[in-house]
Structure 1
Amino acid sequence: MQRRVNDKKFFKKIGAELPVLGLGTWGIGGGFWTPDNSQDDAWVDALRYGLELGATLIDTAEMYGGGHSEEIVGKAIKGFEREKIFIVSKVWHTHASRDDVIKAAQGSVKRLGTYMDLYLIHWPPENVKLCETMRGLEETVKRGYTRFIGVSNFSVELLEEARSCLSTNDVAAIENKFSLLDRRDENTVIPYAEREGMLYLAYTPLEKGQLAKDSFLASIGSKYGKTAVQVALNWLIMFNPVVPIPKAADKRHVEENVGAMGWRLSIEDWRLISEKYKRVIA
């Protein structure tokens, strides 16, 4: 029997509850800085469906489709209560100077048609000192472009360096790759995020569909009336600070992904899955 549970988690750094699963938008609206509007209506419908089903956190970035992903998110949220949606976007690491971060945030807000709840540096900056980037992020809060700031693709050491640069804000969240097949953060960044009350967003949680075909996960899921996808996502959800953000490209996948919410694996099954994949790194 699956355990019915609350489908939200409280995060101290944010001071609010968020859904245990969000909607990812990489590939929605185009690829790497390349816009694609061929499926806009379907993408908007998929995101709206996810919001209706309770996955009210949407993750996007200025790089996704050269900003077109943000425009699609802006269309999708129309008609919903803005305060009940948590929007995450990211500035690309080549826009990491203080002035470029501010300019990028302005662009994201314009495309979204609203403020951001969380604004992240997408990757550690390469040609700019981290403190300059973090000061730029702080300025985006002061200007009302975002409520919270954070980092993506950072180690614990870089995360602590980033925090040391801040004076009026703190890092509220980190977004890294984490899945059953890539557990590098399990004993490092995730425990750190939990101790500090930070949100941990897990991208590529299904390894681009690889886990959807996993027969072992499917066998576990059969006991709960759930799919391999739903088991893989639920395993992630059971880490206190983790909110997976699987891609929300169509309504069928959104419905399946959201089926990972509202229940929990037994501790025995969670441990069985953990043991099965403990030595696997993608």
Structure 2
Amino acid sequence: MRELHLGDKTVPAIGLGTWHMGNSTATRAKEIKAIQAGIDAGATVIDTAEMYGNGRSESLVGEAIANIDREKLFLIDKVLPSNASADRMSHSLDTSLKLLGTDYVDLYLYHWRGAVPLSETVETLQSLQQQGKIKHWGVSNFDLPDMKELLALPGGDQVAANEDLYNLGSRGIEYSLLPWQRKQGIPLIAYTPVAAGDERGQLINNPAVKEVAEAHQATPWQILLAWAIRDGSTLAIPQSGDPKHAVDNIKAASLTLNEDDLAKIDKAFPKPTSKQPLDIR
């Protein structure tokens, strides 16, 4: 199973995303089973955010992991820009911790840039880290200028990861951001790694993706995930409220695409040849 170093732990390269989960009482039990099935299949990373359902996703995760050894899990949570200030972040984190049923998160991300000065946010994140409420901190939806600004700040070089949208249909960060992060040793967390809506359908039904999937006796979904984590420094966090699908996603971490596979995929979905606006959903 492909792994990567995240914070102070080595984790499987495919985790569990929870965006859009926890919003319906009708699907709650199945979604909890999906998270637990993913953990049973080898996933250790669970990604959530206070924004997701205004805490309902965090509550769902908390219920799903209530009887699981906390030390075996790597929890990622995110703070909203409106709560990323010195006077609000601690309270925001405490609320998230209560919903999760834990006294710390492994990685706390600044969800996207807002009006609070970046230096204030970084200083506050460092303070929470010193208090032990978070093991590591990072950012999300940061492009290359944002990352360079971050690393120029005192303590900014302690950033543990950047979470951006990244999938076969959205390769823009490959032009400059991703190569720079690799040089700096900053892992990428890829959200929406199998795309969404009509774009997802275009990816999983693409002849090249289907051909590679058949060669590996895998599903097109699994090929998209194996492609996303191919560099060894990317964590993909697909979301699924279905237990079987969640397990299939985790199994994709055991797939290795060869040069011919990657060439076929690149021909169908070419690499970017110029700087693209950061894709944010």
**Could you state the TM-score of these two structures normalised by the residue count of structure 1?**
0.89
Change (3 A) 1:61 1:276: same
1:278 and 2:270 correspond:
yes
User: Which residue of the partner structure matches residue 223 of structure 1?
Assistant: 215
Aligned residue pairs, count = 269
1:117 and 2:106 correspond:
yes
For 2:8, the aligned partner's letter is G
1:66 and 2:54 correspond:
yes
* In 1: Cα distance, 2:42 partner to 2:128 partner: 28
Deviations 1:10-50 (A, max 9, x none): 34xx23211110111000012xxxxx433221111100000
For 1:97, the aligned partner's letter is S
- Partner SS, residue 46 of structure 1: helix
User: Which residue of the partner structure matches residue 89 of structure 1?
Assistant: 77
Deviations 1:187-219 (A, max 9, x none): 322222222222211011111143333332112
* Worse overlay, 188-197 or 240-249: 188-197
Deviations 1:35-66 (A, max 9, x none): x4332211111000000101211110001011
Pick from 73, 76, 86: which aligns with 2:64?
76
User: Which residue of the partner structure matches residue 183 of structure 1?
Assistant: 171
Gaps of 5+ in 1: 1-5, 31-35
Contact 1:93–1:121 (CA under 8 A) maintained in structure 2? yes
- Calculate the aligned-residue CA RMSD, in Å: 1.9
For 2:224, the aligned partner's letter is A
| 1:169 Cα deviation from its structure 2 partner | 7.0
User: Which residue of the partner structure matches residue 251 of structure 1?
Assistant: 243
Runs of 4+ with deviation above 6 angstroms: none
Q: Give the structure with the larger strand fraction.
A: 1
Contact 2:163–2:188 (CA under 8 A) maintained in structure 1? yes
* In 2: Cα distance, 1:166 partner to 1:130 partner: 11
1:136 and 2:131 correspond:
no
* In 1: Cα distance, 2:166 partner to 2:157 partner: 26
* In 1: Cα distance, 2:251 partner to 2:49 partner: 25
Deviations 1:155-214 (A, max 9, x none): 122112223334397100000001111011113222222222222110111111433333
Contact 2:138–2:160 (CA under 8 A) maintained in structure 1? yes
* In 1: Cα distance, 2:171 partner to 2:152 partner: 26
Identity level (%): 33
Pick from 240, 256, 260: which aligns with 1:268?
260
Contact 2:110–2:140 (CA under 8 A) maintained in structure 1? yes
| 1:279 Cα deviation from its structure 2 partner | 5.5
**Could you state the TM-score of these two structures normalised by the residue count of structure 2?**
0.90
Q: Give the structure with the larger helix fraction.
A: 2
* In 2: Cα distance, 1:169 partner to 1:109 partner: 25
User: Which residue of the partner structure matches residue 96 of structure 2?
Assistant: 108
* Worse overlay, 187-196 or 240-249: 187-196
User: Which residue of the partner structure matches residue 2 of structure 2?
Assistant: 7
* Worse overlay, 207-216 or 104-113: 207-216
Contact 1:102–1:139 (CA under 8 A) maintained in structure 2? no
Contact 1:199–1:242 (CA under 8 A) maintained in structure 2? yes
User: Which residue of the partner structure matches residue 29 of structure 1?
Assistant: 22
For 2:2, the aligned partner's letter is D
Contact 2:166–2:193 (CA under 8 A) maintained in structure 1? yes
User: Which residue of the partner structure matches residue 33 of structure 1?
Assistant: none
Contact 1:138–1:168 (CA under 8 A) maintained in structure 2? no
Contact 1:138–1:166 (CA under 8 A) maintained in structure 2? no
Change (3 A) 1:196 1:169: closer
